[in-house]
Amino acid sequence: MTKPKKSPSTSETILASRRTFLRKAGLGGAAVAGSALAAPAVLAQNGPIKWRLQTYSGAPLGAHVIKPQIDAFNAAANGEMEIELYYADQLVPTGELFRAMQNGTIDAVQSDEATMASPVDISVFGGYFPFATRYSLDVPSLFRYYGLQEIWEEAYSEVDNVTWLSAGAWDPLHIFTKDPIRSLADMRGKRVFGVPTAGRFLSRYGLIPVTVPWDDVEVALQTGELDGVAWCGFTEAYEVGWADICNYALTNSVTGAWFGSYFANTESWNKVPPHLQELFRITIDQSHYYRAVWYWGGEAKLRVEGEKMELTSIPADEWAQVVSDAAGFWDEIAASSDRAGRVVEAFKTYSDTMEKAGYPYRT
């Protein structure tokens, strides 16, 4: 007797169609003008330059947020350089990423500052800074037009042997839990895996930030060590399997996009010839574009059609208090250093501009 073929779920169909689109669009592999850039390989006397890069993300997520870029670079480098990619905690624990890069244990890192304990006075802005952004395009706009690039370059110029290369946007921050959150009171006592700054802010409502290795999150949810995650948006929750364990998704977003960056060990970076440095920057930009498309399309579709989690919301009047509290949090952080104050001022100027611009920038 032939076993009936199981039809894919709505979320499985959505994820599969998005992977196919990105692959056909040339965003999922070595589509970086390989033929245009490729030339007869001129190898160093001792062979190609070898790098080790570790990302903050686990392998399922890394397949989208970093692997296409590394595959593209390796193909276009045409044998002159090869980057070995490692996922969360594979070479060093995520909290030690910065120091490991600085001392040359690894050559490059993709992460946010807060998660990897970057020793700069702007590290609090890496990851999710409450209500700093509404959309993913806010991040590159802030860096390009509102001074954040210069501030980041200035901060890292004061750190030995680390070169900051580029920042980009990831997904918005939502809270996914096994038990529902329908009010601020429902947050109290819930242990969640999440990024440091957002966790610090949300802890004032009783949420308890818990740090575990990325690969242990799923088991920690199953055993009850964790009650949920405050780490990502809908796309990641579905992609990495957390939506299979969490029953509820809070629609109130704490911020619209994660700030992530690429960094390199300065000695390693300076050994790379200029044309390969430029190629690496080009593929970083490709990665930023890939993620912008992947997250933007996936977030909306999975919120509407994803069937694995029930959507809940905190009432508007209660959430207004959270937004108000964030303003005080901004001022608190701004007072921590001159440079932090400049970042917060850029956020305020940008927010005011977007509100005045109106639709489609803000409604």
- Position 28 scores a pLDDT of 46
- The radius of gyration computed from the CA coordinates of the chain, to the nearest angstrom, equals 21
- Position 21 scores a pLDDT of 47
Q: Is the pLDDT of residue 221 over 60?
A: yes
CA 195 to centroid of chain Cα atoms: 10
Contacts of 212 (CB under 8 A, 6+ apart): 193, 220, 225, 226
- Position 277 scores a pLDDT of 98
The domain 27-363 having CATH identifier 3.40.190.170: the answer here is yes
Q: Measuring CA to CA, which residue among 252, 125, 124, 122 is closest to residue 186?
A: 252
| 3 state DSSP class of 16 | helix
Mean pLDDT of the chain: 90
pLDDT in tens, 114-155: 999 999 999 999 999 999 999 999 999 999 999 999 999 999
- Position 80 scores a pLDDT of 98
Q: What is the rounded CA–CA span in Å between residue 222 and residue 355?
A: 42
pLDDT in tens, 31-50: 443 333 333 334 445 789 99
Contacts of 157 (CB under 8 A, 6+ apart): none
Q: What are the percentages of helix, strand and coil residues in the chain, rounded to 5?
A: 50, 15, 35
**pTM, entire model:** 0.87
Residue-level length of the chain: 363
| 3 state DSSP class of 275 | helix
| Comparison of pLDDT for 11 and 349, the residue scoring more | 349
pLDDT in tens, 264-310: 999 999 999 999 999 999 999 999 999 999 999 999 999 999 999 99
If phi > 0 it is left, if psi is from -120 to 50 it is alpha, else beta; for residue 45 that is alpha
- Position 11 scores a pLDDT of 65
